[in-house]
Amino acid sequence: MAFRNFKMVGYVVFGRGSFNQLDQIIAPHRKNDKPMVFLVDHFFSAVPGGTGHPLVNRIPVRGNDKVIFVDRRPIFINSLFGYFVNA
């Protein structure tokens, strides 16, 4: 089997209450009025009964930020790349 190495994010935060720190963690990376894009697995787009998943409501969306629900299948990831290139 061939192994592939992928560059990971610089920091990983985990543990109780870690999601509550997301706004504080990304604050230094916000640039003026430029939007942040949050890619969220489509699993969290809705729950039975037609309401949004509570996790989505906890994403610290500010100004022009976008939450995009993505399907983790490779074919969709390629089309998502096209969305950002053509935006």
Six-digit token pair at 18? 């870690």
Distance CA 70, CA 60 (A): 18
**pLDDT at site 5:** 66
pTM for the whole structure: 0.67
DSSP conformational letter for 27 = G
pLDDT of residue 65: 92
Task: Kindly report the length of the chain.
Answer: 87
Query: Cβ(45)–Cβ(69) under 8 Å?
Result: yes
Q: What is the mean pLDDT of residues 21-29?
A: 90
Q: What is the CA radius of gyration of the chain?
A: 15
